[in-house]
Amino acid sequence: MLEVTGLSVAYGGIQAVRSITFHVNEGELVALVGANGAGKTSTLKALARMLDTAGGDVHFLGRDITAIAPHRLIREGIALVPEGRGVFPRLAVAENLAMGAFVRRDKAAIAADLDHVYSLFPRLKERAGQLAGTLSGGEQQMLAIGRALMSRPKLLLLDEPSMGLAPIMVQKIFSVIRTVAEAGMTILLVEQNAKLALEASQRAYVMESGEITLSGNAADLLGDPKVRQAYLGE
């Protein structure tokens, strides 16, 4: 579904991502793990057209999306939950969710999807009229994920959904990610918390200093002594 070939991203002269190649099949939950500064966010931003690529190409459903206008991407079926959530702080929770469906016109289906998001995150329904800026970090993460789902994406990109959250909230968020994945959503999950990500995913790639150094079945990587030493603190 997503084919990334030789992708590079640079800030000025500094290469943050160096010619990485990976893919995500339809219906898979694939993790991209690595230490802080490895280049995970830069990779997702390039996929979501928030950054221009410095080389390589990205095909989504057979179409080259490397040069598409950023605001067109969501119409192609790709939704990004950005690092740090990126909720609109002075829009109400319900308005943030409506922004997720900004490009859609199918009113009835939007209403059904809204019910679905509220059933995944009942907390959002309780706070529907509240400004998003007044939510806790965990609630904002729920909102950011719910907002992305409101676009009915074919591919969901998640950037560090566990960042800065209390363990109990992390569990909640990840149980929803599992539910969404089991319902058939294709997901590319970026995480610094390798254990969490490897446990949730089927396949994974490990990134180090802008390059993919390991890849394979998530279960195998979880058992790999190198991975255990470098990322699981053993």
Partner 1 sequence: MEILLQQLINGLVQGSIYALVALGYTMVYGIMGLINFAHGEVVMIGTLVTISVAGLLLKLGLPVALAGGAGLLAAVAVCMALGWGLERIAYRPLRNAPRLTPLITAIGMSIVLQNVAMLVWGRNYLTFPAIAPKAQFEFAGASFTAVQVMIVLVSALTMAGLLVLIYRTRLGMAMRATSQNPQVASLMGVNVNRVIAAAFVIGSALGAVAGVMVGSYYEIAHYQMGFMLGLKAFTAAVLGGIGNLAGAMAGGVLLGIIEALGAGYIGDLTGGFLGSHYQDIFAFIVLIGVLMFRPSGLFGEKTGDRA
Q: Which residues bind partner 1 (CB under 8 A)?
A: 48, 50, 69-75, 79-80, 82, 86, 88-91, 95, 98-100, 102-103, 147, 151
Measured between alpha carbons, how far is 135 from 123 in angstroms, rounded to an integer?
10
For ligand ADP, which is the closer residue by CB, 14 or 168?
14
For partner 1, which is the closer residue by CB, 90 or 226?
90
Measured between alpha carbons, how far is 19 from 6 in angstroms, rounded to an integer?
4
127 binds, among ligand ADP, Mg ion, partner 1, none (CB under 5 to 8 A by kind): none
Q: Read off the tokens for 227.
A: 């991975």
188 binds ligand ADP (CB under 6 A): no
43 binds Mg ion (CB under 5 A): no
204 membership: H or E segment, kind and range: strand 203-208
Burial of 210 (C-beta count, 10 Å sphere; 0-12/13-18/19+): buried
46 binds ligand ADP (CB under 6 A): no
Q: Read off the tokens for 206.
A: 């490990």
Size of interface with ligand ADP, in residues (CB under 6 A): 11
Query: How far from 39 is each of 104, 128, 172, 178, 210, CA to CA, in Å?
Result: 32, 35, 26, 25, 5
Of 2, 4, 28, 40, the one binding ligand ADP (CB under 6 A) is 40
212 binds ligand ADP (CB under 6 A): no
37 binds ligand ADP (CB under 6 A): yes
Interface residue list for ligand ADP (CB under 6 A): 11, 14, 16, 34, 36-42
